[in-house]
Amino acid sequence: MELIRSIRLKNVRSQFWPKLKKACFNLIRWVLILGICYIIIYPLLTKISSSFMSQRDLFDKTVQWIPRFFTFDNYTMVFEQLKYPEAFLNSFILALLVSLLQLFSCTLIGYGFARFDFKGKRLLFGLVIFTLIVPPQMIMIPMYLNFRYFTLFGLIPGGINLLGTFWPFILTSITGTGLKNGLFIFIMRQFFKGMPRGLEEAAYVDGAGPLRTFFKIMLPGAIPALVIVFLFSFVWQWNDFFLTNIYLGNETVLPMMLHGLKYNVEAVLDQPISTQYASLLNNTGSLMFMAPLLLLYAFMQKYFVESIERTGLVG
C-alpha cells in the first residue's frame, strides 16, 4: 500500500513540473504575442478613433480613445477634398494595370532564366539582382528628364512629355524594370526551377511549342507564386509615393491627393487650419487610403500567408 502510494506521488510530481513549465511558456508566449499585436495595430486604432473625433475632443484631456463629440464630419470633408471617387478610380486602375503588366513580364522573364540555357545567362541574372540593389532614387533625375523629353534615343523627333500619364509606369512594367521587379523575377525563377522538368518534356514530346507549353502547363502550376507576385506588386504600387510623386505629381491620384490634403482644405476654408485639425483630417485620409488594401488583405490573407511558404522563395 505504502509502495503504491509513493509511486503515485512520484508520478504526480514528475508530471507537475513539466506541466508548470509548459504553462509558464504558454503565458510568456501569449504576453509577447499580444504585446506585439498591440504595437502593430496601435496606429490603426489611433487613426480609427481620431477619425470620429470633432475638434473639441482634441483639447479635452479626458478624451483618450472614445470621442465625446462623435462625428462623421471628417469623413465628408476628406471624401470631398481627396476627390475620393476620381482619385480612387485613377489609383485603382494604375495599380491594377501595373501589377498585371509586371506579373506578365516578370513571369516570362523568370521562366526564361529558370528553364533555358543561353550565353550570358548568369551575367544577365546578376544584372537583375543589381537592379534590385540600386535604389530608384539614384536614377530618379535622369528618369524624370527622360520621360519629360521622351525621344527613345532620338527616334521621336522633338520628344514628347510622358509625365502626367501612365506611360512611365507602363513602359517600366512591361520590361520588368519597375518597382522591385527584380524581386518578382527572382521569385518566379525560383518557383519554376522547383517544378518538375518531366511536365515540359512530356508536352514537348506531344509536339507543343515552348510558348504553348508555358501557358498550358507551367502557368497553371505556378498559381501560388503568381498570387504572391500580383499581391506584392499591387500593394507596393498602391502605397508608392516616390515614383507617383515624380511621374504623376499634379494628377488626381490618391497618394498625391492625400499628401496635399491640408493645403486643399485650407484653400476651401480660405484660412489656415490648426495642426490638430490637420491631424484629424490626415488620419481620416490615411484610413480611407488604406481601406482598399485592408479589404484586399482581409480577403486574400490566406493566400498571402500560406502561399509564401509554397513559392519556394527560400529554397
Partner 1 sequence: MKIRQRLKISLATKKSLIGYLFVLPFVIGFILFFLYPFIQSVIFSLSELKIVPDGYILEYVQFKNYNHALFINAKFSRVFMETLLRMLADVPLIIFFSLFAAMLLNQKFRGRLLVRTIFFLPVIMGAGVVLAMERVDYMTQILQSGQDVQGGFLSAAYLRSFLLQLKIPEAGLEYIITVVGRIPEIIRASGIQILIFLAGLQSIPPSLFEASRVEGATQWENFWFIILPLISPLILTNIVYTIIDSFTAAHNELLGLIRDTAFGGAGYGVSTAMANIYFLAIAVILAISIAIISKWVFYHE
Q: How far is the CB of 259 from partner 1 (least distance, A)?
A: 6
CB of 282 to partner 1, least distance (A): 5
Residue of 239, 251, 266, 273 interacting with partner 1 (CB under 8 A): 239
Instruction: Specify the residue, 20 or 294, whose C-beta has the smaller distance to partner 1.
Output: 294
Cell of 312: 519556394
**Residue number with CB closer to partner 1 (79 or 276):** 276
Complex with partner 1: residue 90 or 311, whichever CB lies closer: 311
Contact residues for 239 (Cβ-Cβ < 8 A; gap 6+): 255, 293
Q: E strand or H helix at 235, and its extent?
A: helix 223-239
Site string for partner 1, 72-91 (x = CB under 8 A): --------------------
C-alpha cell read off for 223: 498559381
How far, in Å, CA of 15 to CA of 9, rounded? 10
Report the 10 Å Cβ neighbour count for 171: 16
**Cα distance between residue 182 and residue 80, in whole Å:** 38
User: Between residue 169 and residue 188, which ones bind partner 1 under the rule CB under 8 A?
Assistant: 171-172, 174-177, 185
Torsion sign (Cα): 66, 71, 76, 78: negative
Biggest alpha carbon distance in the chain? 106
Q: Find cell 470620429 and name the residue.
A: 52
Q: List the interface residues with partner 1, window 112-141 (CB under 8 A).
A: 112-113, 115-119, 121, 124, 127-128, 131-141
| Among 3, 4, 123, 314, interactor with partner 1 by CB under 8 A | 314
Stretch that binds partner 1, among 6-14, 91-99, 217-225, 304-312 (CB under 8 A): 304-312
Q: Segment near partner 1 (CB under 8 A), from 38-46, 69-77, 78-86, 91-99?
A: 38-46
